[in-house]
């Protein structure tokens, strides 16, 4: 039990770096898509640089962080006395559902990453800006769930997340209008 707090600390550190990687990779996707519309030689220079940056972020920070966060989570859940107790609680089931959703989000980002590495632009910058909010919504849901540790209060949290998502969409539309005026 003495090492549980070390495991929890390492888990939290790698969750933070995982989310940082997810937030930044989608921002790099926006830049790569914008670079595809630039004239030569600016286009080629920017694309090459963004590919390098994306590659390093994805394989040196984001993927390792996702794997290590999961390893420490499994270690806490399955190899510590408190882990078994956590697995009996309904809020943990909901949290694990969000973790599953985060991995789906991560895998979709990986697919987009591979496409952009091959110069395949299949999405707009507007889509990417909205897509970037997916990780934010999952982060909010998981943090509130872990802090409250109550699946019933989570229902109120869902309402809050939906309202938060609507505010993000409205903010995005407002920002888009401002950008289009310039």
How does pLDDT run across 55-103, given as a tens digit for each residue? Answer: 999 999 999 999 999 999 999 988 887 877 888 888 888 889 999 999 9
Residues 6 or more apart whose Cβ sits within 8 Å of residue 154: 91, 94, 144, 145, 148
User: Vertex 135, ends 50 and 111: CA angle to 5°?
Assistant: 50
Percent of the chain residues topping a pLDDT of 90: 58
Q: Would you state the structure tokens that stand for residue 133, as one six-digit string?
A: 């909010």
Q: Are 118 and 145 in contact (CB under 8 A)?
A: no
Residue 1 has pLDDT above 70, yes or no: no
Q: What is the mean pLDDT of residues 149-174?
A: 75
Q: Please tell me the total count of domains within the chain.
A: 1
11 annotated ligand binder: yes
Structure tokens at 139: 């982060």
Mean pLDDT of the chain: 90
What is the residue range of 38's domain? Answer: 4-181
Residues 6 or more apart whose Cβ sits within 8 Å of residue 163 = none
Other residues' Cβ atoms within 10 Å of the Cβ of residue 81: 8
What six digits make up the tokens of 182? 């310039």
DSSP annotation of 124 reads -
Q: What is the pLDDT at residue 166?
A: 82
> Does the structure show a pLDDT above 90 at 171?
no
Q: What is the pLDDT of residues 118-158, one digit of tens each?
A: 999 999 998 998 899 889 889 988 888 888 877 566 667 76
Q: Output the pLDDT for position 40.
A: 94
Give exposure, 121-141, as e/b (b: 16+ Cβ within 10 Å): bebebeebbbbbbbbbbbbbb
**In whole angstroms, what is the distance from residue 122 CA to residue 1 CA?**
49
Name the more confident of 176 and 41. 41
- pTM for the full model? 0.85
Residue 18 exposure: Cα atoms within 13 Å on the Cβ side: 24
Higher per-residue pLDDT: 55 or 1: 55
Which residue has better confidence, 119 or 159? 119
Is 110 marked within a binding site?
no
H or E segment and range at residue 71: helix 63-78
């Amino acid at each position: 039990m003495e090492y549980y707090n070390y495991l929890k600390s390492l888990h939290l550190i790698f969750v933070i770096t995982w989310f940082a990687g997810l937030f930044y990779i989608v921002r790099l996707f926006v830049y790569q898509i914008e670079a595809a519309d630039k004239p030569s030689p600016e286009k080629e220079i920017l694309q090459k640089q963004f590919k390098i940056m994306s590659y390093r972020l994805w394989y040196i920070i984001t993927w390792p962080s996702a794997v290590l966060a999961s390893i420490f989570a499994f270690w806490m859940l399955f190899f510590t006395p408190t882990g078994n107790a956590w697995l009996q609680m309904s809020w943990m089931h909901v949290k694990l559902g969000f973790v599953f959703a985060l991995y789906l989000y991560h895998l979709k980002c990986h697919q987009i990453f591979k496409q952009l590495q091959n110069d395949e632009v299949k999405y707009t910058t507007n889509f990417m800006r909205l897509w970037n909010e997916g990780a934010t919504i999952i982060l909010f849901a998981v943090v509130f769930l872990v802090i409250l540790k109550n699946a019933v209060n989570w229902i109120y949290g869902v309402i809050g997340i939906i309202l938060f998502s609507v505010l993000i969409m409205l903010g995005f539309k407002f920002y888009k209008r401002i950008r289009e005026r310039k």
